[in-house]
Structure formats: structure tokens, C-alpha cells
């Protein structure tokens, strides 16, 4: 996945060669004054800086548990003549190599292409080399700042919180930060359209934002000695040095406490006490089904890696949904109220959130927790195979689809009324259940017990699939549902169609339940023959 991400980021700078950039700067160069040209150039630069910072931060958060030495490092090297100092030095060196490679891959093409695209007669500095150096230094230092700031944040949490609290709260911090950074990355594309007045307001009110600091550094390197931009450049350098210094300090403290942090720190978070009666027991209604559901709940609650991935998907869902509302912010502002925003949430969010969370849940449960321990399931498989698979179905629906409608159904009632909201919720729920049938159509595993081969699908393919679903499928289906639910007659006509589609895919997925064996090892995908002979 890391190699795929780097391979995806490396050519991303080619997007700057979009002819619209050239046409826009040619038109701005023809204006009699430089204000509009320079405001647009600064807005585009801030857009690139914001995107680079957001992507760097998300990659750092996904590698959160690899940034500091762990008990696994200590155990793997315990039999070798390796001192703790060597472990910390090697881990810090690997963090430097990883961050440098990531920053270089992300900024290589934009550094060379941006000075060729953002050109015109009103440039502050016409030199290509000066613009190349300014963008490369500002963007590279911005990426290093956010990376080391997150490393320092983890170091502070690691050294100030007890081990059990750190395992529990670190996952929530990751989820919130991933949501914020993904929302920032999605919102960065709109910065380039801001005019001089908007840019002036942003620079004055956003002096605490890191992209503004490094945007000021970029302008300072181009020769602009405006007092505000100079102060922002100073703040950027100070923040970078502070992040690096805090990282080194937390590494030093961690080295002094390595035995407690590495050896005594638990790998699993403590489980909360569960009452004798619970929602899982009510949903399961059978002991074998309840056992699997409790196993899934305990793994998601205790395993920090699974919890981190699931919180990342939750954060991505919140970010995408909020960004879709922000894009329509102009429409909401013109309407003079929040009602259109609530209508948008009630119409588009249930199916959009289902698309992301269902795929994310399948990804999470595909990753094994303790692979050697699956023998207990293998020797008892024939006694409860059908109940185990139905437990996965019920738990997935309870954990992903049910919370979406518990949150958004009251919103739908508030903006559409009881009658229309009830019809809309029925259709949306049928679509979400159909998506579940499609996502888990070939599922023949028990959660957290099967081997997992990462990177089997290219990252560009995953992003293309999500883009197609969120930009084409979700709006189209949501608009059809909204139109049909306005009239009771249309609702009654279309209800058998939606229900029939769901029932068909459900019947196809459940064929062979209790007969087909459960998989405990991910099989390689067969490669289709092209009919070539040697």
C-alpha cells in the first residue's frame, strides 16, 4: 500500500498541466493591474500547500504506530546483541528516510511544473529558478512540519498518558485528525478560485493556519518583504524547528523509559465490562451467533490497529459528507438558512455513507487479529458454520448501516415530514442493504481469522471506484428516491422493484450457507489466460 501510494503521488503533479491554468494566467496577464494576477497565484500556491500538508498528515497518521519503537521491535531483536540505543536510532533514521522519500515523491513534479504554469507579466519574480526554489522549499518544509508535528504529538501522548489510556485515546485522535485532514484535502481545490478580497480576508483571519505560514515563506523567498508575509515566513520556520525539536525531545524521553514503554505496554486495549443483557444478545437470539458477534465486538474494541483503520474510515466518511455540503455552501447561503443543508444531508448522506462504511468494514474484518489462533474455529466449524455467517451479516448491518439511519432519520423527518421521510428512509435502507449484499457477495471468511494480502488492488483503482460511486451512483439513486417519495402512488409502484432487487442479491449471497467451507487463507486471484503460447 505504501509503494502504491508513492507511485500514485509521484505523477500527480502532471495535473498542473491542465490547459485551464494556462488560459487563466494568460487572461490575468492582460489585465491593467497586477492585483488579480498575484491574488490568483497566491491562491493556487496555498491550494498546493494545503493539499500537500493534508496528504502528508494522512500518510503519517496511517503510519502512526510505526513512528516510535514498539514492544514488537524489542521482542524481535531480543535475541541479538542490539542495545536499546540502536533500536531508537534505527527507528528514528527509518522515520527520516520514510518522510524524506514521501515528501520528495509528493513535491517532485509540482516543484518543476508550478513555475512553468503560474507565469505572466505580473509575476513578483520572473526567474524560473527563483520560483522553483521558492515552491520547493516552502512545500517541502510544510510537509516536514506536519509530519514531525504528528510524530511529536504521538510522542507527547505516549509519554504523558498511561499505556492503556494511550492505546484507547490514540485511535480516537487518529480518527479525528484523518477526518480533518481529508476534509482539508477535498476543500483545497476551491482555494484557487478565491479573488483578491477573499484572499485578503483569509490572510488576516487565518494567520494561525500552517498553509498561510508557508505561503508567506514562499512569497518571502520570491522577494516580497511585506511585513505580514515576513511574519508568516518567520512563523513557518519557527514552527518547523519547534516540531523537530519536540520530536527529538520525545524520542529522548522515550529512550529513557523504553522498558516501560516497549516491554510493559499492552498490545491490546482493556475491554470494558459487559452486562449480562446486551444489544448483541438481543440481535443474535442464538448462543453460537452471539459468540461470534461478541468476538467481533471485542476485537474491534481491543485491537488498536483494527480500531485505527475503522476510525480512519469513519473520519473519511465524515470528511466526504461535509465536503459535499461545503461545495453547495453557496446554494445554502443564498437560501438564507440551514434547511437546504439538512435536506441535502437527508437525501445524499445515507447512501453515500453506506458506500464508504460498508467497504471499510469489509477491509477491517479482512485483516487478521491473531492468525495462529484460528485453529479453534477450524476444529468446530462444522458445528456452527451457518450461525457464524449469519452473525457476520447481523453484526455488519448493526455496526455500519443502523447508526447511519439512527442519526439521519430524525433529520429527514425534520425537513420532509413524517410521510415523505418514512418513504425515503425505506428506499434508502433497501439500497444500503443491497450494497451490503454486493460488498459481501463473495465473503466466505470469519472476521479477523483469515490471512490478508495487502495491495492486491491498485490504489488508483480503489479511488476510481469510490469516485464513480460517490459522484455518479449516489447522486443518481438519491435523486430518483427523492422524486419517487413525493407521491404515494409512485412509492407503491417502485417499492416492489427496490425490494425485489435486494431480495435477489440476498438470495444469491446466501446460497450454500452451511455447506461451503470457511476460508482461513486468502487465495491468490486467478490470472486470465490470453491464449498466448510459448
The model's pLDDT over 459-477, given as tens digits with 9 standing for 90+, comes to 667 777 888 888 889 989 9
Indicate whether 259 and 293 sit together in one domain. Answer: no
- At 531 the three-state DSSP class reads coil
Q: Quick one: average pLDDT of 159-180?
A: 76
Q: Quick one: average pLDDT of 439-451?
A: 86
Indicate whether 215 and 288 sit together in one domain. Answer: no
- At 519 the three-state DSSP class reads strand
Q: Given the C-alpha cell 454486493, which residue does it identify?
A: 438
Q: Is 476 inside a domain boundary?
A: yes
Residue 445, phi then psi, degrees to nearest 5: -125, 160
Query: What does the buried/exposed string (b/e) look like for 185-195 if buried means 16 or more CB atoms within 10 Å of the residue's CB?
Result: bbbbeebbebe
Distance between CA atoms of residues 347 and 352, nearest Å = 10
Indicate whether 253 and 382 sit together in one domain. Answer: no
What pLDDT was estimated at residue 526?
A: 46
The secondary structure of the chain in percent helix, strand, coil, rounded to multiples of 5, reads 80, 0, 20
What pLDDT was estimated at residue 333?
A: 46
Q: Is 174 inside a domain boundary?
A: yes
Indicate whether 256 and 302 sit together in one domain. Answer: no
Contact 400, 354 (CB under 8 A): yes
Indicate whether 368 and 396 sit together in one domain. Answer: yes
User: Got the DSSP string for 220-277?
Assistant: HHTT---HHHHHHHHHHHHHHHHHHHHHHHHHHHHHHTHIIIIISS-SBPPPPP--SS
Q: Is 23 inside a domain boundary?
A: no
Indicate whether 373 and 242 sit together in one domain. Answer: no
What pLDDT was estimated at residue 25?
A: 79
Q: Is 514 inside a domain boundary?
A: no
Give me the domain span that covers residue 52: 2-11+38-263
Indicate whether 308 and 415 sit together in one domain. Answer: yes
Q: Given the C-alpha cell 425505506, which residue does it identify?
A: 426
Distance between CA atoms of residues 426 and 421, nearest Å = 9
Residue that terminates a domain, selected from 205, 233, 263: 263
Q: Quick one: average pLDDT of 188-210?
A: 73
The pLDDT tens digits of the residues spanning 294-331 come to 899 888 887 877 887 888 888 888 878 877 766 554 44
Indicate whether 115 and 232 sit together in one domain. Answer: yes
Question: Greater confidence, 270 or 112?
Answer: 112
Report the domain count for the chain. Answer: 2
Residue 378: count other Cβ atoms within 10 Å of its Cβ. 13
Q: Is 523 inside a domain boundary?
A: no
Q: Quick one: average pLDDT of 110-124?
A: 82
pLDDT at 531 over 70: no
pLDDT at 204 over 80: no
pLDDT at 169 over 80: no
Q: Which residues are 268's β-sheet partners?
A: 303
The pLDDT tens digits of the residues spanning 411-444 come to 899 888 899 999 999 999 999 999 999 999 888 8
Question: Greater confidence, 111 or 527?
Answer: 111
Indicate whether 156 and 217 sit together in one domain. Answer: yes
Q: Is 517 inside a domain boundary?
A: no
Indicate whether 417 and 338 sit together in one domain. Answer: yes
pLDDT at 272 over 60: no
* Torsion angle (degrees, nearest 10) of CA 377, 383, 386, 388: -30
Q: Is 187 inside a domain boundary?
A: yes
What pLDDT was estimated at residue 329?
A: 47
What pLDDT was estimated at residue 266?
A: 52
What pLDDT was estimated at residue 185?
A: 81
Confidence of residue 276 (pLDDT cuts 50, 70, 90): very low
Q: Is 270 inside a domain boundary?
A: no
Q: Which of 13-22, 105-114, 226-235, 269-278 has the highest mean pLDDT?
A: 226-235
Indicate whether 152 and 291 sit together in one domain. Answer: no
Structure letter (DSSP) for residue 526: P
Indicate whether 135 and 232 sit together in one domain. Answer: yes
The pLDDT tens digits of the residues spanning 466-517 come to 888 888 899 899 999 998 988 888 899 999 999 999 999 998 888 766 667 7
Distance between CA atoms of residues 431 and 499, nearest Å = 9
What pLDDT was estimated at residue 527?
A: 45
Amino acid at each position: 500500500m505504501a509503494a502504491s501510494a508513492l507511485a500514485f503521488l509521484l505523477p500527480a503533479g502532471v495535473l498542473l498541466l491542465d490547459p485551464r491554468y494556462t488560459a487563466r494566467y494568460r487572461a490575468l496577464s492582460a489585465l491593467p493591474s497586477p492585483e488579480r494576477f498575484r491574488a490568483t497565484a497566491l491562491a493556487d500556491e496555498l491550494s498546493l500547500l494545503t493539499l500537500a500538508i493534508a496528504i502528508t498528515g494522512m500518510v503519517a497518521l496511517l503510519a502512526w504506530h510505526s513512528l516510535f519503537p514498539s514492544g514488537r521491535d524489542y521482542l524481535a531483536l531480543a535475541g541479538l546483541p542490539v542495545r536499546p540505543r540502536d533500536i531508537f536510532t534505527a527507528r528514528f533514521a527509518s522515520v527520516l528516510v520514510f518522510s524524506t522519500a514521501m515528501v520528495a515523491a509528493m513535491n517532485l513534479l509540482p516543484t518543476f511544473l508550478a513555475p512553468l504554469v503560474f507565469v505572466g507579466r505580473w509575476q513578483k519574480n520572473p526567474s524560473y529558478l527563483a520560483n522553483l526554489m521558492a515552491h520547493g522549499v516552502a512545500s517541502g518544509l510544510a510537509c516536514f512540519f506536519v509530519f514531525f508535528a504528528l510524530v511529536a504529538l504521538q510522542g507527547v501522548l505516549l509519554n504523558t498518558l498511561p499505556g492503556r489510556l494511550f492505546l484507547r485515546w490514540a485511535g480516537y485522535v487518529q480518527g479525528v485528525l484523518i477526518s480533518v485532514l481529508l476534509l482539508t484535502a477535498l476543500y483545497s481545490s476551491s482555494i484557487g478560485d478565491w479573488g483578491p478580497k477573499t484572499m485578503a480576508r483569509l490572510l488576516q483571519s487565518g494567520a494561525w493556519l500552517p498553509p498561510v505560514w508557508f505561503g508567506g515563506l514562499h512569497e518571502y523567498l520570491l522577494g516580497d518583504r511585506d511585513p505580514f508575509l515576513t511574519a508568516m515566513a518567520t512563523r513557518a520556520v519557527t514552527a518547523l524547528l519547534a516540531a523537530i525539536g519536540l520530536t527529538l525531545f520525545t524520542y529522548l524521553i522515550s529512550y529513557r523509559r523504553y522498558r516501560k514503554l516497549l516491554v510493559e505496554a499492552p498490545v491490546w486495549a482493556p475491554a470494558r465490562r459487559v452486562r449480562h443483557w446486551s444489544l448483541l444478545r438481543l440481535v443474535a437470539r442464538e448462543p453460537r451467533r452471539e459468540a461470534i458477534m461478541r468476538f467481533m465486538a471485542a476485537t474491534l474494541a481491543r485491537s488498536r490497529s483494527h480500531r485505527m483503520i475503522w476510525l480512519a474510515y469513519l473520519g473519511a466518511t465524515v470528511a466526504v459528507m461535509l465536503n459535499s455540503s461545503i461545495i453547495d455552501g453557496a446554494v445554502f447561503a443564498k437560501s438564507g438558512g440551514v434547511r437546504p443543508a439538512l435536506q441535502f444531508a437527508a437525501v445524499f448522506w445515507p447512501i453515500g455513507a453506506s458506500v464508504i462504511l460498508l467497504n471499510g468494514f469489509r477491509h477491517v474484518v479482512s485483516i487478521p487479529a491473531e492468525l495462529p489462533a484460528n485453529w479453534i474455529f477450524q476444529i468446530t466449524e462444522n458445528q456452527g458454520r451457518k450461525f457464524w455467517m449469519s452473525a457476520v451479516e447481523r453484526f455488519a448491518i448493526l455496526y455500519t448501516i443502523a447508526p447511519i439511519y439512527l442519526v439521519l432519520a430524525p433529520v429527514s423527518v425534520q425537513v420532509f415530514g413524517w410521510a415523505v421521510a418514512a418513504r425515503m428512509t425505506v428506499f434508502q435502507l433497501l439500497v444500503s442493504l443491497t450494497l451490503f449484499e454486493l460488498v459481501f457477495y463473495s465473503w466466505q471468511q470469519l472476521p479477523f481469522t483469515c490471512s490478508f494480502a495487502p495491495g492486491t488492488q491498485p490504489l488508483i483503482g480503489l479511488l476510481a471506484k469510490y469516485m464513480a460511486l460517490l459522484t455518479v451512483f449516489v447522486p443518481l439513486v438519491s435523486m430518483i428516491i427523492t422524486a419517487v417519495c413525493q407521491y404515494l402512488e409512485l412509492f407503491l409502484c417502485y417499492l416492489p422493484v427496490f425490494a425485489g432487487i435486494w431480495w435477489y442479491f440476498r438470495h444469491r449471497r446466501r446460497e450454500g450457507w452451511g455447506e461451503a467451507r470457511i476460508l482461513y487463507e486468502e487465495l491468490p486471484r486467478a490470472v486470465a489466460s490470453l491464449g498466448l503460447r510459448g
